[in-house]
Structure 1
Amino acid sequence: MANKNIRLASDFLMRNLPILIFIFSSICSAADLQLRSIGRFEGWKENYLSGIGLVSGLAGSGDSPRSKATRQALANLLSRFDLSVSDSQILSRNVASVIVTATLPAVSRAGDRVDVTVTSMGDAKSLAGGSLLVAPLKGPNGVIYCLAQGAVNVGGFKVEANQTVEQKNYPTVGIIPGGCAVEQGTLSSPRPPDGKLRFLLNNPDYLMANQVASKIRASVSDVTVVPRDAGLVEVQFSESLSDQRLVELIAGIQAVRVEPINQVKIVVNERSGVVVAGANTVISPITISHSGLRISVTTTSIVTQPLLVIDSPGTRATVEKDSRIAVSETSGAVITRPGNTIADLVGELNRQHVTARDMIAILQAIKASGALYADILVQ
């Protein structure tokens, strides 16, 4: 009974997925957004760090002796503790060489903690139960910004026995929450050298840039706001403004609310059959005829042999094939009227039990006919 209910719920979601997505996108586009949600100030960016380290404490699931890099790294580590061991003498599989990555926020100070991602770079089977030894993380400029260390949280496993493998998730990738200590921060002054704050839109659009400039003028005083292009809005402030007032000014600009401008786009994924679009996208009057022809061929093998079996070289059984062909055809037509939207069209197609993949083909055909005023992005 439970399996039947699950199947019914799954079928309902697959039939109504486009409608649910359209309704969700329409609801989300109705609310105003803060500027901090649609853009950022110039110079405000995250910093990517990476390094190479060793994970120890693995129960025989680490790199094999074939991994020369792991043996050499372990030998170098032991030499720092006055232990002279050549890499050819290291045969343990309890150690694995890994790549360590982290993302440093735009503003950070020494002593802050950030999360770390650890990925195997050798032939280790699993990092479960291991601990990362101290690994320096560098930026693209070669400067060490963080030191990473700690127990690796994998969240998966891989067990092999008698050529049988049982695996959950990917045990060669793990994280260390707060496992990286910042040694050199990225704190910088919020005051630009030319006295201009530059706000950059995540999705450049001239209408949105003009609206952002108008909202900032109406909400913030003693500033000059100029939209430079589709993705840049400049805010000129007084040079005599103190650092405290400048921080308050930036916070006030980030809190300004604007109404999002919906870009008329339809995103379709042919592999999964998902369609995402604004529910209020209007289409011109058009007639859609949809038909499907299904041909199924069933072949049955029949073995025939003589009734009286005689031990003779010319006596043998034969295999004959019996084929049956079945043809079924379904048809349907949809007529759109002035003012109809994508949501109306999807609802009608769903009532005619049109599959998601056929729906994608229909939308592409409507676009080609000139009746759909939206861009179709196929993933």
Structure 2
Amino acid sequence: MTKKIICIVALLLTLPQLALAIRIKDIASFDGVRDNQLIGYGLIVGLNGTGDSDQTKFPVQSLANVLERMGITVNRDDIKVKNVAAVMVTAELPPFSKQGTRVDVLVSSLGDAKSLAGGTLLMTPLKGADGQVYAVAQGGLLTNSFSYGGQAATAQKNHPTAGRIPNGALVERELPNVLADRSQLRLNLHQPDFTTATRIARAVNEQFKAGVASCNDPGSVMISLPDAYQGRVVEFVADMERLDVRPDNPAKVVLNERTGTIVIGENVRIDTVAVSHGNLTLLIKETPRVSQPQPLSRTGETVVVPRTGIKVSEESGGLAVLREGASIGDVVRALNALGVTPRDLIGILQAIKAAGAMQAELSVI
């Protein structure tokens, strides 16, 4: 019975560490394995009178060029349409995308179109940063919105001048395989940290029974391909990225004064400090009055006499003592006892940091 209790206690003590373990693939990525941004200029047609107006010149020029490529010659000055809109088309090409696969595209209006709902994107080449065409987009646009109106009123839902085309781009050019024929790989951490990088290298070395991993800086881990995996890079990556590592996060407090949002990390600790808080309310009310001259008076005139009322009220604040080594839960409970609001809490945390009692980084965004 005693052995069972000891085993249960030991298991419970290891549960927090197991819960914090994260796969390597979720906290790091290999060098060169990333998305690539694509962009292109195109035309949306088939709009219900909600396209670009005549004041926007480039859609007319683009439409004339499209018609000329199809063998139709038109005078650009005679083109007056409201069912066409010029748009920018963007997409992200995932790594290892093969020719013939499809990716989603985002379409955004360039001119003064009122809505792109119901439109169709004409064939649009999508280029990368090197100027090469990697995909071609075309298809019906989904906006999940509308915009209708008359001379006196309008009705609008969501954002009608931007939308998506699911699987709207066809990949025409493949990216080079950055993992092919490589004997050494570099693993880049999403959040550089000395401790996390060291733990990743240690976990890889323990798994493959060799000193194949080393870290020269907190942002990356260099990994040499083991002899048993020569010519099998994909299999090695699959086995390695499944390893569990417990990342180490720095103590940090993030404040957003515009929205009153406060995010406090788990490792934040407070030294012994006493906090007092009180609310000061100032009410200023202007009630101007009109002063009239006496009846039949020839020298008097009507004037406005200002009247200002000021009322000051201050709520008494309690005193809370935060003991040394207090955790985030202790801080929240103590400050909630004072009845502070999130915006008041921002000022209190800044004051605690200024007093040198907060052992954490304070970031204001």
Question: How does the TM-score come out when normalised to structure 1?
Answer: 0.86
1:324 Cα deviation (Å)?
3.1
1:69 Cα deviation (Å)?
1.1
> Alignment RMSD, CA only?
2.3
Between 316-325 and 44-53, the greater mean CA deviation after superposition: 316-325
Equivalent in 247, 267, 272 of residue 254 of structure 2: 267
Partner of 2:59: 70
Partner of 2:363: 377
**Partners of 1:90 and 1:222 in 2: how far apart?**
71
**Partners of 1:274 and 1:248 in 2: how far apart?**
44
Output the amino acid matched with 1:120. S
Conserved 8 A contact 1:268-1:275 = yes
**Partners of 1:218 and 1:145 in 2: how far apart?**
41
Between 167-176 and 129-138, the greater mean CA deviation after superposition: 167-176
**Partners of 1:46 and 1:343 in 2: how far apart?**
39
> For residues 16-35 of structure 1, what are the structure 2 equivalents within 5 Å?
30-35=19-24
Please state if 1:139 is matched with 2:128.
yes
Equivalent in 108, 116, 121 of residue 97 of structure 2: 108
Partner of 1:20: none
1:164 Cα deviation (Å)?
2.4
**Partners of 1:299 and 1:184 in 2: how far apart?**
70
Please state if 1:220 is matched with 2:205.
no
Output the amino acid matched with 1:102. A
Greater relative CO, 1 or 2 (CA 8 Å, sep 6+): 1
**Partners of 2:197 and 2:33 in 1: how far apart?**
19
**Partners of 2:266 and 2:336 in 1: how far apart?**
15
Please state if 1:327 is matched with 2:312.
yes
Q: 1:78 to 1:29 in 2, by over 3 A?
A: farther
Conserved 8 A contact 1:280-1:343 = no
Please state if 1:206 is matched with 2:197.
no
Output the amino acid matched with 1:209. A
The CA deviation string for residues 63-85 of structure 1, in whole angstroms up to 9 with x for no partner, is 11222211111001111221111
The CA deviation string for residues 244-270 of structure 1, in whole angstroms up to 9 with x for no partner, is x32111011110111121211111001
**Partners of 2:299 and 2:54 in 1: how far apart?**
63
Please state if 1:164 is matched with 2:161.
no
Conserved 8 A contact 2:320-2:338 = no
Q: 1:239 to 1:186 in 2, by over 3 A?
A: farther
**Partners of 1:310 and 1:324 in 2: how far apart?**
30
**Partners of 2:226 and 2:284 in 1: how far apart?**
80
**Partners of 1:63 and 1:210 in 2: how far apart?**
57
Partner of 2:6: none
1:315 Cα deviation (Å)?
6.9
Q: 1:35 to 1:89 in 2, by over 3 A?
A: same
Conserved 8 A contact 2:251-2:267 = no
Equivalent in 244, 268, 280 of residue 293 of structure 1: 280
Q: 1:310 to 1:361 in 2, by over 3 A?
A: closer
Conserved 8 A contact 2:44-2:119 = yes
**Partners of 1:264 and 1:168 in 2: how far apart?**
42
**Partners of 2:285 and 2:73 in 1: how far apart?**
73
Q: 1:67 to 1:305 in 2, by over 3 A?
A: closer
Please state if 1:177 is matched with 2:166.
yes
**Partners of 1:28 and 1:329 in 2: how far apart?**
47
Q: Share of identical aligned residues, percent?
A: 39
**Partners of 1:109 and 1:39 in 2: how far apart?**
24
Equivalent in 48, 53, 60 of residue 59 of structure 1: 48
Conserved 8 A contact 1:220-1:252 = no
1:98 Cα deviation (Å)?
0.5
> For residues 3-42 of structure 1, what are the structure 2 equivalents within 5 Å?
30-42=19-31
**Partners of 1:74 and 1:191 in 2: how far apart?**
44
Q: 1:377 to 1:109 in 2, by over 3 A?
A: same
Output the amino acid matched with 1:216. V
Partner of 2:3: none
Conserved 8 A contact 2:188-2:219 = yes
The CA deviation string for residues 301-330 of structure 1, in whole angstroms up to 9 with x for no partner, is 445658xx9566557666545443322112
Conserved 8 A contact 1:39-1:201 = yes
1:237 Cα deviation (Å)?
1.9
What residue ranges of structure 1 are gaps of 5+ in the alignment? 1-26
Conserved 8 A contact 2:204-2:212 = no
**Partners of 2:334 and 2:229 in 1: how far apart?**
60
1:215 Cα deviation (Å)?
0.7
What residue ranges of structure 2 are gaps of 5+ in the alignment? 1-15
1:340 Cα deviation (Å)?
1.3
Question: How does the TM-score come out when normalised to structure 2?
Answer: 0.89
Between 287-296 and 309-318, the greater mean CA deviation after superposition: 309-318
**Partners of 1:299 and 1:68 in 2: how far apart?**
53
Conserved 8 A contact 2:201-2:214 = yes
Conserved 8 A contact 1:29-1:260 = no
1:181 Cα deviation (Å)?
0.6
The CA deviation string for residues 23-61 of structure 1, in whole angstroms up to 9 with x for no partner, is xxxx99952110011110111111110000000001111
1:242 Cα deviation (Å)?
4.6
Output the amino acid matched with 1:332. G
**Count of paired positions:** 349
